[in-house]
A and B are shown apart, each in its own frame.
Chain A
């Protein structure tokens, strides 16, 4: 049984660390500046001046967040777990009278709070400015993007903690993390393209459905594109699946799958962390 006190204590320290190291500030600023820049440049490209509005900004930001959020979440969680092990504090933490699972859950909660704060400040703040500047009114689309970005970040935090819990060194963990990022963000679409070319008929829909659920990045991409009505503009997976997951059941299925991508790796991280040896 894992009591809540050590989880909250560790979560608070993780959040404090992220704030003091200016990670939250810098990440929030990065997202905010990029959101504003995308909005402004997007409007200039169609011959107007000023901000181009939520919907177009949201679609523009989608690809950006699909690339950046997983990477930042992986680096944050791997650095928190693996660096702490190599530098020493984890040894003292493990020697305290707390369950090991409290360490993993506490770290996840603290890092999740830091990442959420950065995304809300950066993307949310930029959204607010764009709204004040008098852009169009698809606030729902922008909020959905924000929410899905947070969900995507949490999924990759869990994955990062799992990788760091299993890896022998910080370097191994970083290498595996970058490999995962490359596979999910870059390589995955190639697999989907291959699948559509090789598989035909009724099997294709099942195969693509499975491939969609198998990657949190595509989950977020498709889910957001369907809502924003921009599914024709991005990604081959999106085009193939646009009709498959439209409507409330589709949204719920995507949200449940994303939740699964947060919970299952976190359970995996806890199990791996509980079982491993921490030799000198």
Chain B
């Protein structure tokens, strides 16, 4: 659906993106993550046609963004980090303005206003809205034409926790309905929850591209096992270590173990075989944060 081919962007002597190739599949939710200055925003701006790449091409469903920008942008809705529309226009007028530009029926305005819960403030000037409401207005304009591709640049930065939850629900619903999403975010927990694949960028280069689970496997990061034991003892800690745990610590009645995925069952079996009473247990995969930190410590590919 979106294909970045050998994108290179230089600003004077500084390289913002270096020979980056990336494909976002149709219906996929792909997240761009990376430290500040990694090139995420530049890449999004190249996609939108706001920035001309020094070399390389970007196509949206076969339309070259540079040569056929109008047709390419017709397929996408964009929500920037800080959505600012026209303060002197009302919420409804702002959406009517975008609807006219995109040739969208005015009937659709009421639908998106309801979707982002801004219908009660439709007649208020945009300048009177809170940061969260403005971001929802930004989302409304992005969704107005029901585009098959959504580009979201740090969309939850100015949202409160409740709005963030609602935003993630809406994002999941749109994704489930088949919308292709390219999301840039610093909030790795959110990314891990919603993304099909993650592209990790650093210094303008693509460091890794895969699902969180596959990246965790590549990095050989241990999973986190929390075991509630009947009688806490140092013996249980020792047993876990011997069964292959990288670390094992006792916190009250909970034994917290970091263990390679393939040794999880071995740890549990060793404890049970030694007569340790297991009341409950849970396991969690490695966090994207751990993967991110490990990958960025390694030499950059290419």
Residues of A within 8 A of B (CB): 5-6, 9-10, 13, 16-17, 20-21, 87-89, 91-99, 275, 277-280
Contact = CB atoms under 8 A, between A and B. Distances in A.
Given A9-B100, A95-B78, A96-B98, A89 B86 contact: yes
Given A277-B52, A279-B11, A96 B85 contact: no
B84 A92 contact: yes
A95 B51 contact: no
Interface string B148-183: 000000000000000000000000000000000000
A109 to B, nearest CB: 15
A149 to B, nearest CB: 27
B279 interface: no
Nearest to A9: B100
Contacts of B84: 87-89, 91-92
A6 B102 CA distance: 8
A17 B89 CA distance: 8
Contacts of B102: 96-97
Contacts of B259: none
Interface residues of B, number: 33
A277 B51 contact: yes
Nearest to B82: A88
B118 to A, nearest CB: 16
Interface stretch (B41-49, B205-213, B216-224, B228-236): B41-49
A108 to B, nearest CB: 17
Interface string B101-138: 11100000000000000000000000000000000001
Given A96-B73, A97-B70, A9 B97 contact: yes
Interface in B69-84: 69-74, 76, 78, 80, 82-84
Contact of B89 (A9, A13, A279): A13
Given A88-B83, A277-B51, 13 more contacts: A6-B101, A9-B97, A10-B101, A88-B84, A88-B85, A89-B84, A92-B83, A93-B101, A94-B48, A95-B50, A97-B71, A277-B45, A279-B51
A92 B138 contact: yes
B150 to A, nearest CB: 12
Interface in B4-40: 11
B50 A277 contact: yes
B88 interface: yes
> Interface residues of A: mostly helix, strand, loop or mixed?
helix
Given A13-B86, A96-B102, A279-B11, A88 B80 contact: yes
A280 B97 contact: no
A219 B97 CA distance: 38
Contacts of A279: 11, 42, 45, 50-51
B141 interface: yes
A9 B101 contact: yes
B161 to A, nearest CB: 24
Contact of A278 (B51, B69, B71, B85): B51
Given A9-B100, A13-B86, A98-B70, A91 B80 contact: yes
* Residue from the set A16, A20, A93, A95 with the largest chain B CB neighbour count within 10 Å: A95
B73 A97 contact: yes
B71 A94 contact: no
19 contacts: A5-B101, A5-B103, A16-B88, A17-B86, A17-B88, A88-B83, A91-B50, A92-B78, A92-B83, A92-B141, A93-B101, A94-B48, A95-B48, A95-B73, A97-B69, A97-B72, A99-B70, A279-B51, A280-B41
A227 B100 CA distance: 45
Contacts of B74: 97
A279 B52 CA distance: 10
A275 B102 CA distance: 23
Nearest to B53: A277
A94 B41 CA distance: 15
Contacts of A92: 78, 80, 83-85, 98, 138, 141
A85 to B, nearest CB: 11
A278 B69 CA distance: 15
Nearest to B78: A95
Nearest to B88: A20
Contacts of B98: 92, 96
Nearest to B125: A20
